[in-house]
Amino acid sequence: MQDIIKGFLKVQREAFPARSELFKELATAQNPEALFIACSDSRVVPELLTQQEPGDLFVIRNAGNIVPAYGPEPGGVSATVEYAVAVLGVTDIIICGHSDCGAMTAVSTDMNLDHLPAVASWLAHADAAKAVNAARTDGSAQESLEAMVRGNVIAQLTNIRTHPSVALALDQNRLNLHGWVYDIETGSIDTLDCGTGRFVPLADNPQYFATLAASDLAA
């Protein structure tokens, strides 16, 4: 805890004064360009990965970077997505999975979570990806986990399209969806190409989107 407090004091002494004009602007308004949905894993820091300043990203973090499909009783994730799209007007949504994900390890290995009922209930939102992954009979445990991480990103991209604010923004061609997988050891990111359904290096393919707008799909 003392390291955390020391960090805060360092920010007050050094970082905050150097960005005083930025924080003055942010004191009464925010205008983020993107909603970044990531895992709560301590090793995944959206602002660090993308080198963004305060005010640039609207962030959701939870176990497994999950977005429940829209339902009659929307929760915190649904409310945050709606606010980001309908009020803040973000133009891009990124759903980012990562290597060595504990949540996806639990799902891919069918881990007994009886002692963690809240976790088990939450991870049920990854059941679509789990079903697809379970149908694969080849590959090692590591390959199965990697496939699960990618499949989960795809599943959550499907879920987020059920949210009315997202569906409307996609139909009006004012929102792009992106699916990323971050590798902790190498620092690389793979991005989902909606044309092929494959993940490819983001560094070589910065133009790729995970999901086209509804009007493009209908064309």
Same domain, 192 and 133: yes
DSSP assignment letter at 142: H
Q: Examine the pLDDT at 122 and tell me if it is beyond 50.
A: yes
Task: Give 213's pLDDT tier (boundaries 50, 70, 90).
Answer: very low
Clarify whether 41 is annotated catalytic: yes
Domain range for 82: 32-218
The share of the chain scoring above pLDDT 90, in percent, equals 83
Task: Give 134's pLDDT tier (boundaries 50, 70, 90).
Answer: confident
Q: Identify the active-site residue in 3, 13, 43, 171.
A: 43
Clarify whether 39 is annotated catalytic: yes
pLDDT given at position 214 = 46
Task: Give 217's pLDDT tier (boundaries 50, 70, 90).
Answer: very low
pLDDT given at position 137 = 67
Domain count across the chain: 2
Q: Examine the pLDDT at 12 and tell me if it is beyond 80.
A: yes
pLDDT given at position 126 = 94
Tens-digit pLDDT profile for residues 65-108 = 999 999 888 799 999 999 999 999 999 999 999 999 999 999 99
Same domain, 11 and 72: no
pLDDT given at position 54 = 95
pTM, two decimals, is 0.92
pLDDT given at position 97 = 98
Same domain, 8 and 99: no
Closest CA to 50 of 64, 36, 62: 36
Q: Please give the Cα distance from 119 to 117 (Å, whole number).
A: 5
Same domain, 61 and 1: no
Task: Give 207's pLDDT tier (boundaries 50, 70, 90).
Answer: confident
Alpha helices per DSSP H over the chain:
2-10, 16-18, 20-26, 46-50, 76-82, 102-108, 117-123, 127-134, 141-160, 164-171, 214-218
Q: Identify the active-site residue in 96, 98, 125, 178.
A: 98
Q: Identify the active-site residue in 3, 19, 39, 127.
A: 39
Q: What is the CATH number of the domain that holds 84?
A: 3.40.1050.10
Same domain, 77 and 151: yes
Q: Identify the active-site residue in 41, 125, 150, 190.
A: 41
Same domain, 5 and 43: no
pLDDT given at position 74 = 79
Q: Please give the Cα distance from 9 to 189 (Å, whole number).
A: 33
Q: Please give the Cα distance from 34 to 206 (Å, whole number).
A: 15
Q: Identify the active-site residue in 101, 125, 178, 194.
A: 101
Task: Give 212's pLDDT tier (boundaries 50, 70, 90).
Answer: low
**Average model confidence (pLDDT) for the chain?**
92
Same domain, 95 and 8: no
Same domain, 4 and 42: no
pLDDT given at position 73 = 81
Same domain, 8 and 72: no
Same domain, 9 and 49: no
pLDDT given at position 186 = 96
Clarify whether 194 is annotated catalytic: no
Clarify whether 127 is annotated catalytic: no
Higher pLDDT, 138 or 219: 138
pLDDT given at position 219 = 42
